Amino acid sequence: MRKIINYPIPAIAREIERDGFIIIVKAHKNNEDGWILEIADEQGSSAVWTNLFQSAQDALNEGIRALEDEGIGSFISDLKA
């Protein structure tokens, strides 16, 4: 079951296409002093980091680093084993 999370400030997002797949890397401002990172695929499945980032750019940079290190297939729900 998917948990719906409502964020008080709209997300800052980057769409990234690799190997024929599109994912969205998002930074959401939370109610505290930090930003939450979320990576979502085209089907709406997402991975959400539990640690907070000091800025939206820090969160986006971490998402891009994760894509480079782990590959886009790690974040596509249809490709996960």
Q: What residue ranges do the domains of the chain occupy? A: 14-76
Predicted pLDDT at 10 = 60
Mean of all residue pLDDT scores within the chain = 85
- Checking if the pLDDT of 1 tops 50, the result is no
Rounded mean pLDDT, 25-29 = 93
Q: What is the DSSP string of 8-67?
A: SSPPEEEEEEETTEEEEEEEEE-SSSSEEEEEEETTS-EEE-SS-BSSHHHHHHHHHHHH
In the prediction, which pLDDT does 33 show? 82
